[in-house]
């Protein structure tokens, strides 16, 4: 007979563990509080993200209607120390239900530091997830996404806050905030 702890660890390895209270509390904060948390956050090292998948939640109400509230974001190391990432669709059930992956990776991005001289420099203290440099096909609308990512609390290395923008030529349109929580080792 398996112990509850072994059962919980097996569920987490498959992506089936429920989110933590800290994750849900952050995802439910108002936009103003999320902006403050983003401004106070710490830039994650790309190596800290590589090799992991994170449960993700878009915070606006419209994300539930669009069926993109829940997702998984993964990170992997490629070549000479560069870190790239991807998204995976997730079953869109209750916020406190386990994340169940519902499809293959899509929406690839490159992870790097924000360059103060580049157009995408809204949050210099964040990591930049640049979908325009992720190798997506020219017709893929995800190419316009630019995400800024911070670790919310130095004491919790598993909780992150992001803010997504969409690039339309030189313009950058704010899309939404999202929350990430370390879920499991990335799938090979």
Residue with the bigger pLDDT between 13 and 55: it is: 55
Number of domains in the chain: 1
pLDDT of 102-145, one tens digit each?
Answer: 999 999 999 999 999 999 999 999 999 999 999 999 899 999 99
Give the global pTM: 0.90
Q: What pLDDT is attached to residue 159?
A: 98
CATH of the domain at 155: 2.40.128
Check whether 5 has a pLDDT greater than 60: no
pLDDT of 30-53, one tens digit each?
Answer: 999 999 999 999 999 998 999 999
Q: What pLDDT is attached to residue 11?
A: 44
Q: Residue 86: which domain range?
A: 4-185
Nearest to 158 by CA among 58, 35, 21, 39: 21
Helix residue ranges, H only, 21-162: 21-27, 31-40, 46-49, 61-65
């Amino acid at each position: 007979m398996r112990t509850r702890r072994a059962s919980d660890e097996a569920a987490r390895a498959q992506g089936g563990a429920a989110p933590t209270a800290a994750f849900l509390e952050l995802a439910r904060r108002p936009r103003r509080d999320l902006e403050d948390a983003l401004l106070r956050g710490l830039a994650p090292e790309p190596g800290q993200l590589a090799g992991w998948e994170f449960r993700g939640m878009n915070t606006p109400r419209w994300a539930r209607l669009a069926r993109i509230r829940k997702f998984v974001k993964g990170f992997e190391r490629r070549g000479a120390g560069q870190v790239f990432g991807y998204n995976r669709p997730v079953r869109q059930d209750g916020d406190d239900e386990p994340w169940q992956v519902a499809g293959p990776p899509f929406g690839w991005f490159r992870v790097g530091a924000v360059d103060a001289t580049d157009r995408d420099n809204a949050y210099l203290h964040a990591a930049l997830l640049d979908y325009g440099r992720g190798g997506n096909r020219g017709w893929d609308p995800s190419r316009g996404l630019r995400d800024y990512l911070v670790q919310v609390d130095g004491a919790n290395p598993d909780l992150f806050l992001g803010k997504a923008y969409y690039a339309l030529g030189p313009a950058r349109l704010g899309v939404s905030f999202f929350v990430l929580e370390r879920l499991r080792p990335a799938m090979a």
